[in-house]
Structure 1
Amino acid sequence: MEDFIIRAALAAIGISIIAGSLGCFVIWKRMSYFSESISHSALLGVSLGLVSGLGLHFGLLIVGAIFSILIVVLQQRQFLSNDAILGIFSHISLSLGIVLLALVGGANTDYFSLLFGDILSISNQDIIWIYAILVLVSILLSIFWQRLLLLTLNEELGVASGLNRLAYQLLFMLMIALTVSVSVQIVGVLLITSLLIIPPATARVFARSPAQMVLLSIVVSMIAVVMGLSGSIYYDVATGPAIVIALGILFLLSQILPKRNII
């Protein structure tokens, strides 16, 4: 098997585990629009990485962290609705990213791969970065699982129990920013949200508990990325859209099969 196929498979599986687990919280917290907005900011992160020389991942991480903090701060002021704040930042960051890429990217910049992913660009350093983020997110979720779950399912009870809602909200948003920073090369800027939403939406149909939903979401995500990667190689099409199509097929199948308790 070609080396690039092995690297792509390892990267896709690592990202599917991260996105599958965090995506459940996105569904529970009804934050789909937030994940869409922060994924749009990824293009600005790519531009920052190119301009500063820090590299793709650090540029994505810095912009994602700043984006998350600004959103949390503005949400606390409550002078605009959440969707208005997200819409403003989403379109500004996307437009800035496009303009900066046009200025610094040059003729050799592959815009299609940035928007929809490119398995050929995955390197050994990218694999290390992805699995480092996977370990970090896994540790954070294992430590703060109960508190994040309580604030997600019953925020009033969590606050009454003494939990700092703002701190945990910021922690979760930063984990989403980490996820976005490692997902661009697989599914691209425009399709990252699909990895965060469709697997847990599919798993929710069959899950009997939050923990089971997370596990099923990871399984669905892993199956979809393997299907999408295989289809991408066989039919010579873009990886990101192929993965999203696979996710869509699994979601439609979940709606046809008999339902269980919905979490």
Structure 2
Amino acid sequence: MIELEPFLLRALAASLALAVVAAPLGSLVIWNRMAYFGETISQASLIGIALGLFLGIDITAPVIAVTLAMAGLLILLSRQKVVPLDAILGLMHHGALALGVIATMRLSGPGVDLMGYLFGDVFAVTTSDLYWVFGGGALVLAVLSRLWQPMLRLAVHEELASAEGVNRNVIKAVFIVLLSLTIAIAIKIVGALLVIAFLIVPAVAARPLSSTPERMAVLAALVAVASVLLGLGLSVNFDVPGGPAIVLVMALIAGLSVASAALGRRT
């Protein structure tokens, strides 16, 4: 019987939990066409990391605060009509990344493991991180299960859902809070640059194979779980970074899924 080291068990537990949480949320991100929005929020998490390191506290709470602040700012800026939203997202995306990198290096000193925060270090997950992942993940899933139908209806047809009584402002705000929380608890696993990929790539893989939204969320979770197992195996056996290995497997599965669906339609 193979005995797993404690650090590997923590990495496996955190990654699998995040895979299950990210699948339905990532599906909603795709349905709402908010991938670039989520990417911009994830880049802002570096500013929260710098703040947490500067204050000498766990980075999760500052990252949540900063990502929520960035989401609120993006919502406000999206209401102006001078510059298109995609241009605003491009501006904030690169600006937040640049500020986050500079702030992390300046406030934390030259010895900071910037690569770990950019791409994650799943094998450095601590017991405290597991509390955040399982506690935050349970909260996200509980809220999603309660508001799944309103969120889905808004994604399908926002105006119709609003006319039928769905409070789109409240539902959108809750969704953004859930997205920010998930990004914050995923930072140590896949890093600021790859966290949104962890959310949306399994959903991309599941979409061609799904006839209902619920089936897509379940298949996305299965793809994510399989990618975690294969990615961590790849990392352990070939000495490659864990987070990027997981995302690479996800991307390969998604590529095969989309390619097979496209070829199937031609025949």
TM-score normalised by the chain length of structure 2: 0.93
Aligned to 1:72: 75
Aligned to 1:199: 202
Q: For structure 1, which segment, 145-154 or 106-115, has the greater mean C-alpha deviation from structure 2 after superposition?
A: 106-115
**What is the Cα deviation at residue 185 of structure 1?**
1.1
Q: For structure 1, which segment, 216-225 or 92-101, has the greater mean C-alpha deviation from structure 2 after superposition?
A: 92-101
Aligned to 2:60: 57
1:210 aligns with 2:247: no
Q: Tell me how far apart the structure 1 counterparts of residues 99 and 245 of structure 2 sit (CA, whole Å).
A: 28
**What is the Cα deviation at residue 119 of structure 1?**
2.1
Q: Matched residue pairs, number? A: 261
Deviations 1:162-199 (A, max 9, x none): 22222222211111111110111111111112112210
Q: In the alignment, residue 217 of structure 2 is paired with which amino acid?
A: V
Return the match for 2:92 from 89, 94, 101. Answer: 89
Q: For structure 1, which segment, 229-238 or 244-253, has the greater mean C-alpha deviation from structure 2 after superposition?
A: 244-253
Aligned to 1:154: 157
Structure 2: runs of 5+ lacking an equivalent: none
SS, match of residue 79 in structure 2 = helix
**What is the Cα deviation at residue 112 of structure 1?**
1.3
Aligned Cα RMSD in Å?
1.7
Q: Tell me how far apart the structure 1 counterparts of residues 175 and 28 of structure 2 sit (CA, whole Å).
A: 9
Deviations 1:121-165 (A, max 9, x none): 200010010011111111111111111111110111111122222
Q: For structure 1, which segment, 75-84 or 185-194, has the greater mean C-alpha deviation from structure 2 after superposition?
A: 75-84
Kept after mapping to 2: 8 A contact 1:41/1:64: yes
Q: For structure 1, which segment, 157-166 or 196-205, has the greater mean C-alpha deviation from structure 2 after superposition?
A: 157-166
SS, match of residue 208 in structure 2 = coil
Return the match for 1:171 from 169, 174, 198. Answer: 174
Q: Tell me how far apart the structure 2 counterparts of residues 77 and 4 of structure 1 sit (CA, whole Å).
A: 48
Return the match for 1:31 from 34, 37, 46. Answer: 34
Kept after mapping to 1: 8 A contact 2:123/2:242: no
Aligned to 1:119: 122
Q: In the alignment, residue 118 of structure 2 is paired with which amino acid?
A: L
Shift in alpha-carbon separation, 1:174–1:78, aligned structure 2, 3 A: farther
**What is the Cα deviation at residue 257 of structure 1?**
4.2
SS, match of residue 209 in structure 2 = coil
Aligned to 2:184: 181
Structure 1: runs of 5+ lacking an equivalent: none
Q: Tell me how far apart the structure 2 counterparts of residues 73 and 163 of structure 1 sit (CA, whole Å).
A: 21
Q: Tell me how far apart the structure 2 counterparts of residues 22 and 66 of structure 1 sit (CA, whole Å).
A: 20
Q: Tell me how far apart the structure 2 counterparts of residues 2 and 138 of structure 1 sit (CA, whole Å).
A: 29
Q: For structure 1, which segment, 34-43 or 49-58, has the greater mean C-alpha deviation from structure 2 after superposition?
A: 49-58
**What is the Cα deviation at residue 56 of structure 1?**
0.9
Q: In the alignment, residue 23 of structure 1 is paired with which amino acid?
A: G
Aligned to 1:141: 144
Q: Tell me how far apart the structure 2 counterparts of residues 161 and 53 of structure 1 sit (CA, whole Å).
A: 48
Deviations 1:51-84 (A, max 9, x none): 2233210111010111111111222334432212
Q: Tell me how far apart the structure 1 counterparts of residues 123 and 248 of structure 2 sit (CA, whole Å).
A: 20
Aligned to 2:231: 228
Return the match for 2:50 from 43, 47, 50. Answer: 47
Shift in alpha-carbon separation, 1:25–1:52, aligned structure 2, 3 A: same
Shift in alpha-carbon separation, 1:79–1:164, aligned structure 2, 3 A: farther
Deviations 1:196-237 (A, max 9, x none): 221011101111100111111111111111111111111111
Kept after mapping to 2: 8 A contact 1:151/1:165: yes
SS, match of residue 203 in structure 2 = helix
1:106 aligns with 2:101: no
Q: Tell me how far apart the structure 2 counterparts of residues 141 and 151 of structure 1 sit (CA, whole Å).
A: 14
